Amino acid sequence: MPATATDSLIFRHIFSTEAMRRLFADEARVQYYLDIEAALARVQARLGIIPGEAAEEICRHCHADEFNFATLKTETERIGYPVLPVVQQLVALCRNGYGEWCHWGATTQDITDTATVLQIRDALALVGEELQAIAASLAGLAKRYRDTPMAGRSNLQQAVPITFGYKMAVLLAGFDRHLARLRELRPRVLVGEFGGAAGNLSSLGADGLRVQAALCDELGLGQPEIAWHTMRDRVAEVGCFLGLVTGTLGKISMDVKLMMQTEVEEAYEPFASGRGSSSTMPQKRNPISSNYIHACTAMVRQHVAALLDAMVEDHERSTGPWEIEWIAVPEIFLLSAGALAQTRFLVGGLQVDAGRMRKNLELTGGLIVSEAVMMRLGAALGRQRAHDLVYDICRQVIATGRPFVDLLAENQEIAAHLGRDELAQLVDPANYLGLCGEMVDRVLAAHAIAAGD
């Protein structure tokens, strides 16, 4: 009976996705083993190392549906590793003793590591699709709200005005960097492993490197320059990459949760009847996807730390850190898939309230643009004097509730340099957006080039 959140019949589509789950299922893992065994037989037959008839017979039975998984379970528990039980069944399935030629010169870790790399390759393809879809939604939001003013916030306080398009473009630029990282890491990570017992290919003599090169080519993987049985940076890099990706997803979820607060109400997750309802408070609309993203992201970070711990391996074949990857890699991908799917849903249907953004800008009666007044006065009074003067007036506004522009205009030192009309322009948040629009345009242009639009 399913017990974990990623396998639970209730939670499985919340914390992960069916497509990612299929890649890490037992049947898929065994099929990856068999794909490698078949490829190894083909290339060794082609190189004249094993008989062609043996390769044909081996390949004919490299299908997971021919294997007894109950026996695989029992034998894996007995032996301690799953590859040998697969090989044993494959040998038994082959006629005329041809199965004895399978797994020729390989070791358990060669098959396991290469299968992991194949899983990672297919899983990263799913991750890439989600990243592209999220980036496309963010690009649409950045373009649509390029000039929509809102409060920028620092330490949860209103800072200076920005635009919502700018806020989305900041995220978009991050996703474009993630996509660039994905392109860059593939050649480093998608590398096969075939080294034999201690990695030096002694079991195949002079043919070792030829077999290794042909096997990797057959599988569409890079050939390693040397064995990496206990040099686990490739796997750890993938984990760290997904840690970065989900960290960005967590940032999105945090901002959306804050914007959905009753006192803010600037943006909402997509509406669906009953979604986010409270059992006791009918008025509530809770941030459901954001909560799930936050949870997935936190757990991915913990598993990434475990992967980094798995790098500390002993000698040429390790005693235990390797098995950490068996647990952590699937969990990282499954939880990342859940966070990506929830984020894709969230940004794809994000509800934006531009009117409320403007209303929130006006909460302080112009104090949000006190920097604009200070910078304008700084040229005449000096920056420090302008800062102190405006600071004192801000305190008066907070204490009295009077309009910022009125107190500015009444100050004789300020009035000597700025008239009320100019002050009114300075305290309008829409007039102090800096280069938000230009920066949005730069990000959108770079995104279009990267996306090939």
DSSP string of 3-64? Answer: -STTT-TTTHHHHS-HHHHHHTSHHHHHHHHHHHHHHHHHHHHHTTSS-HHHHHHHHHT--G
Q: Give tens-digit pLDDT for 365-392.
A: 888 888 888 888 888 888 899 899 989 9
Do 330 and 389 sit in the same domain of this protein? no
Reply yes or no on whether 317 is catalytic. yes
Do 41 and 175 sit in the same domain of this protein? no
Both tokens assigned to 218: 């057959």
Q: Which residues contact 255 (CB under 8 A, 6 or more apart)?
A: 167
Does residue 278 register a pLDDT over 80?
A: no
Residue 220 lies in a domain: yes
Q: Give tens-digit pLDDT for 47-59.
A: 999 999 999 999 9
Taking a C-beta distance cutoff of 8 angstroms, is the pair 8, 1 a contact? no
Picking from 165-174, 214-223, 276-285, which range would have the lowest pLDDT averaged per residue?
Answer: 276-285
Picking from 23-27, 324-328, 385-389, which range would have the lowest pLDDT averaged per residue?
Answer: 385-389
pLDDT at 271: 78
Number of domains in the chain: 3
Do 313 and 396 sit in the same domain of this protein? no
Reply yes or no on whether 121 is catalytic. no
Q: Give tens-digit pLDDT for 217-273.
A: 999 999 999 999 999 999 999 999 999 999 999 999 999 999 999 999 999 989 777
- When pLDDT is cut at 50, 70 and 90, the band that residue 17 belongs to is very high
Taking a C-beta distance cutoff of 8 angstroms, is the pair 371, 151 a contact? no
* Residue scoring higher pLDDT (304 or 2): 304
pLDDT at 27: 96
Q: Give tens-digit pLDDT for 122-148.
A: 999 999 999 999 999 999 999 999 999
Q: Residue 125's CB: how many other CB atoms inside 10 A?
A: 13
Do 75 and 20 sit in the same domain of this protein? yes
Taking a C-beta distance cutoff of 8 angstroms, is the pair 165, 145 a contact? yes
- When pLDDT is cut at 50, 70 and 90, the band that residue 14 belongs to is confident
Question: Which residue is catalytic, options 60, 144, 317, 358?
Answer: 317
Does residue 283 register a pLDDT over 70?
A: no
Kindly report the CATH number assigned to the domain that includes residue 62.
Answer: 1.10.275.10
Percent of the chain with pLDDT over 70: 97
Picking from 208-217, 241-250, 278-287, 288-297, which range would have the lowest pLDDT averaged per residue?
Answer: 278-287
Residue 451 lies in a domain: no
Do 52 and 201 sit in the same domain of this protein? yes
pLDDT at 280: 67
- When pLDDT is cut at 50, 70 and 90, the band that residue 312 belongs to is very high
153, β-bridge pairs: 158
Domain containing 151 equals 124-155+163-193+228-350
Do 297 and 148 sit in the same domain of this protein? yes
Q: Give tens-digit pLDDT for 396-414.
A: 988 988 888 888 888 888 8
Question: Which residue is catalytic, options 278, 383, 395, 420?
Answer: 278
Kindly report the CATH number assigned to the domain that includes residue 399.
Answer: 1.10.40.30
pLDDT at 109: 94
Q: What is the mean pLDDT of the chain?
A: 93
Q: Which residues contact 355 (CB under 8 A, 6 or more apart)?
A: none
Residue 446 lies in a domain: no
Does residue 276 register a pLDDT over 80?
A: no
Residue 435 lies in a domain: no
